[in-house]
C-alpha cells in the first residue's frame, strides 16, 4: 500500500509541473499534438506551496480515473516514442480551481492541437466539443454514455455508447436469442426508468416485436412480488429496467432463490452492471445474469499484459479499464493522425489501429438527416454463470 501511494504522489507531482506542457522531454520536430483533457483535480491534491494535502496513509479514490487514464496515455506515448513517431501530449486539468477549461484551451492557440481526448462530465463536454467545432479539431470522449445534448457537431466522437444505443442493442439481443419466451421487466419508478422504457417500447414497436410486461416494484420488494409475475412452467426472461445497482442485486438474489425452487428464469441487466463484482458470490449461483458493455478486454494480448506488468511491478496493483482506455485511445488516434494528418476529420470512423476491442464508429443523424456526431455502436454481451464471467460469442 505504501508503494502504491508513493507512486501516485510522484505521478501527481510530475503532472503538476508538466500541466499544459508537452509530456515529452525532447519534443520532436513537426509533431502531431494530442490534447488530454482529464479530471486530475490537482488543486485538491496540493496546497499553495505544492505540498501534498493527504494524510500519510491515504489516497482519495476520486483521483484515480483521471490519473489512470493519464498513466495509460503516457505508456502509449512511450511506445510511440520508441518507434520514433513524432507525437506530443498536451495535458489540461479540467477541474483546475482557478482556470476554466475555456481559458486553458484559448492559451493553446500558440500550440494548436490536432485532436482532443477527454474524460469529462456532460457540462464539460459541451464546452470542449464547442471549442473543437470552432477550431475544426476532432474531440474523442471516452467515458460518457450520453451525448450531453450536443447536435450538429461532426467533430465529436463518443467511444462509450449512449444509453439509448445500449438499451436498443439489449432489446435486439433478447428478441434474437429468446424470441418465444415471455419477458418481464422489473423496475422502480423514476424519470430515468421511464426514459429507458420509452427506448424499449419504441424499438419493439418499430420492429414489431412482442410486447413486454412491465412491473413496478418498491425499493424493498419481496420475493413474493416477483414470483407472482413468473410462470412456473415456461422459462421467463427477467430484465432489470433501472440503472440502480442495489435494485439489480436484490432482484438477482431473489431470482436465484426462486430458481432453486420451481421457477426457471434468466436475468438481463443494464451496462452499469459491469461494476458489480458481487455476482461471483454463492447467493447468485444458479441464475444466468447477462449485461452488455461497449468496453471489453480479455487482457490476453501482449500490450495489455505489458501494461499489467508495469502496474504490478511499479504500483503493486492491477490497472483499471480506464488505464487501458488511455493507452488504446492515444495509440489509435496518434497513428491515425500520423497517417492522415490534415484529413483526420474524414477518418473518425476508421477501423485502423484498434488494440483491445472492436469499435464500430457510426454517424448519428437527427430527424432532418443532419449529422449530429459519431458514436461507437459495438456492444459486447457478458454473462455471469455460476460465479464465472464469460463473453457471449
pLDDT tens digits for range 194-215: 999 999 999 998 888 888 999 9
> How far is the C-alpha of 8 from the C-alpha of 61, rounded, in Å?
11
Residue among 121, 30, 119, 5 at smallest CA distance from 342 = 30
The reply to whether 310 and 257 lie within a common domain is no
Q: In angstroms, what CA-CA distances link 137 with 28, 153, 164, 367? A: 21, 11, 26, 25
pLDDT of residue 203: 92
The reply to whether 59 and 36 lie within a common domain is yes
The reply to whether 23 and 102 lie within a common domain is yes
The reply to whether 91 and 173 lie within a common domain is no
8 has a pLDDT exceeding 60: no
Quick check: is 365 in a domain? Answer: no
The DSSP line for 185-197 is EEE--SHHHHHHH
The reply to whether 130 and 268 lie within a common domain is no
pLDDT of residue 28: 61
Q: Rounded mean pLDDT of 171-179?
A: 93
20 has a pLDDT exceeding 50: no
Contact 76, 304 (CB under 8 A): no
Q: Which residue has the higher pLDDT, 201 or 275?
A: 201
Structural domain span for residue 218: 163-293+381-391
The reply to whether 147 and 11 lie within a common domain is yes
The DSSP line for 359-387 is --EEEEE-TTS-EEEEEE---EEEEEETT
Q: Rounded mean pLDDT of 127-156?
A: 96
Q: Categorize the per-residue pLDDT at 98 as very low, low, confident or very high, splitting at 50, 70 and 90.
A: confident
Quick check: is 367 in a domain? Answer: no
The reply to whether 16 and 31 lie within a common domain is yes
* 107, three cell numbers: 492559451
> How far is the C-alpha of 101 from the C-alpha of 92, rounded, in Å?
8
Quick check: is 369 in a domain? Answer: no
Q: Categorize the per-residue pLDDT at 6 as very low, low, confident or very high, splitting at 50, 70 and 90.
A: very low
Q: Which of 65-69, 158-162, 297-301, 372-376 has the lowest mean pLDDT?
A: 65-69
pLDDT of residue 193: 97
Highest mean pLDDT, choosing among 37-51, 85-99, 160-174: 160-174
The reply to whether 80 and 68 lie within a common domain is yes
Q: Which residue has the higher pLDDT, 29 or 205?
A: 205
Q: Rounded mean pLDDT of 36-55?
A: 74
Q: Rounded mean pLDDT of 347-363?
A: 96
> How far is the C-alpha of 336 from the C-alpha of 381, rounded, in Å?
28
11 has a pLDDT exceeding 90: no
pLDDT of residue 329: 97
The reply to whether 37 and 92 lie within a common domain is yes
The reply to whether 168 and 153 lie within a common domain is no
Quick check: is 373 in a domain? Answer: no
Instruction: Tell me the CATH number at 184.
Output: 3.40.50.2300
pLDDT of residue 18: 45
4 has a pLDDT exceeding 80: no
Q: Rounded mean pLDDT of 75-94?
A: 92
pLDDT tens digits for range 30-43: 889 999 999 988 77
> Packing angle between helix 321-340 and helix 64-82, nearest 10 degrees?
40
* Domain total of the chain: 2
Residue among 250, 239, 301 at smallest CA distance from 279 = 250
Q: Which residue has the higher pLDDT, 272 or 293?
A: 293
pLDDT of residue 43: 73
Distant-in-sequence, close-in-space partners of 119: CB < 8 Å, separation ≥ 6:
37, 38, 39, 65, 66, 69, 141, 142, 143, 322
pLDDT of residue 247: 96
pLDDT of residue 126: 98
Q: Categorize the per-residue pLDDT at 57 as very low, low, confident or very high, splitting at 50, 70 and 90.
A: low
pLDDT tens digits for range 334-345: 999 999 999 999
pLDDT of residue 1: 42
> How far is the C-alpha of 360 from the C-alpha of 33, rounded, in Å?
25
Quick check: is 113 in a domain? Answer: yes
The reply to whether 183 and 100 lie within a common domain is no
Quick check: is 154 in a domain? Answer: yes
Average model confidence (pLDDT) across the chain: 89
pLDDT tens digits for range 300-328: 999 999 999 998 988 778 899 999 999 99
Q: Rounded mean pLDDT of 354-368?
A: 94
Q: Categorize the per-residue pLDDT at 13 as very low, low, confident or very high, splitting at 50, 70 and 90.
A: very low
Residue among 141, 58, 46, 139 at smallest CA distance from 97 = 46
Quick check: is 9 in a domain? Answer: yes
Q: Categorize the per-residue pLDDT at 24 as very low, low, confident or very high, splitting at 50, 70 and 90.
A: very low
299 has a pLDDT exceeding 60: yes
Distant-in-sequence, close-in-space partners of 116: CB < 8 Å, separation ≥ 6:
34, 35, 37, 128, 131, 132, 137, 138, 139, 140
Q: Rounded mean pLDDT of 88-98?
A: 89
> How far is the C-alpha of 363 from the C-alpha of 42, rounded, in Å?
36
The reply to whether 41 and 180 lie within a common domain is no
Amino acid at each position: 500500500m505504501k508503494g502504491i501511494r508513493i507512486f501516485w504522489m510522484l505521478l501527481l507531482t510530475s503532472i503538476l509541473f508538466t500541466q499544459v506542457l508537452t509530456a515529452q522531454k525532447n519534443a520532436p520536430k513537426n509533431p502531431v499534438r494530442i490534447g488530454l483533457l482529464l479530471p486530475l483535480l490537482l488543486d485538491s491534491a496540493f496546497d499553495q506551496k505544492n505540498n501534498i494535502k493527504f494524510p500519510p496513509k491515504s489516497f482519495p479514490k476520486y483521483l484515480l480515473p483521471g490519473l489512470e487514464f493519464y498513466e495509460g496515455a503516457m505508456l502509449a506515448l512511450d511506445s510511440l516514442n520508441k518507434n520514433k513517431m513524432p507525437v506530443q501530449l498536451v495535458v489540461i486539468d479540467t477541474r483546475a480551481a482557478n482556470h476554466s477549461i475555456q481559458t486553458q484551451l484559448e492559451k493553446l492557440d500558440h500550440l494548436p492541437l490536432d485532436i482532443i481526448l477527454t474524460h469529462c462530465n456532460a457540462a464539460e463536454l459541451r464546452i470542449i466539443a464547442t471549442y473543437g467545432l470552432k477550431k475544426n479539431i476532432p474531440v474523442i470522449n471516452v467515458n460518457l454514455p450520453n451525448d450531453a445534448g450536443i447536435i450538429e457537431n461532426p467533430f465529436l466522437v463518443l467511444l462509450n455508447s449512449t444509453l439509448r444505443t445500449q438499451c436498443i442493442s439489449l432489446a435486439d439481443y433478447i428478441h434474437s436469442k429468446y424470441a418465444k419466451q415471455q419477458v418481464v421487466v422489473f423496475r422502480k419508478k423514476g424519470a430515468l426508468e421511464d426514459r429507458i422504457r420509452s427506448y424499449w417500447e419504441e424499438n419493439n414497436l418499430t420492429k414489431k416485436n412482442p410486447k413486454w410486461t412491465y412491473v413496478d416494484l418498491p425499493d424493498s420488494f419481496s420475493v413474493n412480488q416477483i414470483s407472482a409475475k413468473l410462470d412456473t412452467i415456461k422459462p421467463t426472461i427477467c430484465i432489470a429496467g433501472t440503472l440502480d445497482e442495489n435494485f439489480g442485486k436484490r432482484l438477482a438474489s431473489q431470482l436465484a432463490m426462486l430458481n432453486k425452487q420451481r421457477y426457471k428464469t434468466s436475468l438481463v441487466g443494464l451496462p452499469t452492471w459491469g461494476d458489480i463484482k458481487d455476482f461471483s458470490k454463492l447467493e447468485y449461483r444458479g441464475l444466468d445474469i447477462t449485461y452488455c458493455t461497449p468496453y471489453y478486454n480479455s487482457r490476453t494480448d501482449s500490450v495489455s499484459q505489458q501494461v499489467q506488468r508495469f502496474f504490478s511491478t511499479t504500483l503493486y496493483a492491477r490497472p483499471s479499464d480506464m488505464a487501458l482506455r488511455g493507452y488504446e485511445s492515444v495509440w489509435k488516434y496518434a497513428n491515425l493522425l500520423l497517417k492522415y494528418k490534415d484529413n483526420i476529420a474524414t477518418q473518425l470512423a476508421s477501423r485502423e489501429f484498434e488494440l483491445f476491442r472492436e469499435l464500430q464508429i457510426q454517424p448519428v443523424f437527427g430527424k432532418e438527416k443532419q449529422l449530429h456526431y459519431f458514436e461507437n455502436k459495438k456492444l459486447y454481451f457478458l454473462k455471469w454463470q455460476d460465479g464465472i464471467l464469460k463473453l457471449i460469442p
